[in-house]
Amino acid sequence: MDGPTARANPEARGAMSSLIAYDMSLGDPVVAGADEAGRGCLAGPIVAAAVCFDLRTLGAEGARALAPLDDSKRLTPRRRAALVGVVVRHARSVVVVSASARAIDADGLHATNIRIVREALAAISPAPGVALVDGFDLGPDAPPHRRLVKGDATSASVAAASVIAKEARDRLMRGPAAAAYPGYGFDQHVGYITAAHTEAVQRLGPCPLHRRSFRSRAYGDDLTLFE
């Protein structure tokens, strides 16, 4: 048998999910994935994560433990939280980078998104043989990478990055952010737009975590709560 599946630990092959199998098909056993969380939020940071696996050392135990990986939005909160420890235990590298609401307002959402994903991927050292990015091309200044549409539902490394980014952001919003700015319900909606969040902003005004540049069709075409 040729290719990266053969070079990976043979015990892992019998336990692999389709996402792990995808990563094993890419031509190199050292695969990194990158993704972000919080792009569509009214409040709080945007968070990027990059996760690198060495598939040669994964083994059957690691493959079984990582088999539940999926797009973080399709996982239950309990399963997603449990997977954080699994990913950290079996990954070669895990990197998290965030950007504040003020950075998003200053530089724009998409530019900020691309910058932090690029920084997370660049911080993986040594560099992976293959790097996958969910949805976006990061431009010529980024490390070599491949854009993968729906990557968090296709690749184990991208799904792992999705889980890490989502959990890092949610824990920040439910913990320190909710404690620092009570009354906005950050422990419930973690900064996404909901009826309760809208009502809180209208009643209390924005706090420093709110993105003044936020736009949503929920308020009409290109309208925002802060205009």
Across 130-155, average pLDDT: 95
Average pLDDT over every residue of 166-183:
98
Architecture per CATH, 4-204: 2-Layer Sandwich (3.30)
DSSP structure class, residue 26: S
Q: Which residues pair with 97 in a beta bridge?
A: 48
The closest of 115, 90, 112 to 103, measured between CA atoms, is 112
Is the pLDDT reported for residue 120 higher than 60? yes
- Tokens matching residue 169: 């952001």
pLDDT in tens, 54-110: 999 998 899 999 999 988 888 999 999 999 999 999 999 999 999 999 999 999 999
pLDDT tens-digit readout, 11-64: 555 456 899 999 999 999 999 999 999 999 999 999 999 999 999 999 889 999
Single out the residue of 39, 170, 11, 5 nearest to residue 113, CA to CA.
39
What tokens does 141 get?
């200044």
d(CA 146, CA 155): 12
Query: What per-residue confidence (pLDDT) applies to 3?
Result: 43
pLDDT averaged over the chain? Answer: 90
206: confidence class by pLDDT, cuts 50, 70, 90: very high
Kindly report whether the global pTM for this prediction surpasses the value 0.85: yes
Q: What gap in Å lies between CA 6 and CA 177, rounded to an integer?
A: 46
Which residue ranges make up each domain of the chain?
4-204
pLDDT in tens, 210-222: 999 987 655 444 4
The mean per-residue pLDDT over the stretch 137-158 comes to: 95
CA distances for 97 relative to 55, 72, 168, 212, angstroms = 24, 17, 10, 21
Instruction: Give the pLDDT confidence score for residue 12 in this predicted structure.
Output: 53
In the chain, which ranges are continuous DSSP H helix? Answer: 4-7, 10-13, 18-24, 59-66, 77-90, 101-107, 109-122, 156-172, 178-180, 186-189, 195-204
CA 19 to chain centre: 16
